[in-house]
Amino acid sequence: MEFEVTRDTRNELLGRREVDFSLQFDGPTPSRMQIVGKIAALMNVQEKQVVLDSLKTCFGMTACTGSARVYDSEERRNKTERSFLINRGVPKPKEEGA
């Protein structure tokens, strides 16, 4: 998986960095959690501080583009972001005894 940041701007008012990226991959499209993990590793932050906004793939190609927001803290993320964006792509917990 080759990851390239195409735009990285700082938003002081909301305490975050707004990142646009392009991604080259082999095989199936990586999951949202894999992409969030890669962004967190590159930006040297925890995964809980990253929100993946959009992800666009082209039919028949092994490339995609997207945008993400990297917050200064988890509290700042929870104040600003909508809950469905925070929970999108997170695996659901398995029910016990089923």
Determine the pLDDT at residue 85: 87
Tell me the pLDDT tens digit for each residue of 14-30: 999 999 999 999 988 89
Tell me the pLDDT tens digit for each residue of 36-95: 999 999 999 999 999 999 999 988 889 999 999 999 999 999 999 988 888 887 777 777
Taken in order of first residue, the domains within the chain and their CATH numbers are 2-87 (3.30.70.330)
- Residue 46 sits at φ, ψ, to 5 deg, of -80, 155
pTM: 0.85
d(CA 18, CA 7): 8
Going through the chain in order, the beta strands assigned E by DSSP cover: 2-11, 16-24, 50-57, 63-71
Query: In whole angstroms, how far apart are CA 45 and each of 69, 72, 85, 96?
Result: 12, 8, 18, 32
Question: If 0-12 CB within 10 Å is exposed, 13-18 middle and 19+ buried, where does residue 75 land?
Answer: exposed
Whether the CB-CB separation of 33 and 61 falls below 8 Å is answered with no
